[in-house]
Amino acid sequence: MQKNQWEKKDGVNGIVAVAIDTDKGSQNALKWAVDHLTTKGSTIVLIHVRVKQTPASTNSTPSE
């Protein structure tokens, strides 16, 4: 049994996926993943998340 499940050498076939958006936290998440989860030859998959806003959800207040 391995001592630490988050060691860099652990992983599934060297693939790491990171969800990102326009928030600054995405940069931090990507840097953390690179620093802690990847090894030489790892594949990093970026999943770009975009929030679709509808007219009803932007700057509106419920009518009384």
Domain ranges in the chain are 15-51
What value does the mean pLDDT take over residues 33-59? 86
Query: Comparing C-alpha atoms, which of 36, 38, 47 is closest to residue 15?
Result: 38
| Model confidence pLDDT, tens digit, residues 6-24 | 455 555 568 999 999 999 9
Query: Comparing C-alpha atoms, which of 32, 27, 25 is closest to residue 8?
Result: 32
How far does CA 20 lie from the centroid of its chain?
Answer: 5
Say if CB 30 and CB 49 are below 8 A apart. no
Q: Would you state the structure tokens that stand for residue 42, as one six-digit string?
A: 């790892």
pLDDT for the residue numbered 29: 95
Integer-rounded Cα radius of gyration of the chain: 18
Share of the chain above pLDDT 90, in %: 45
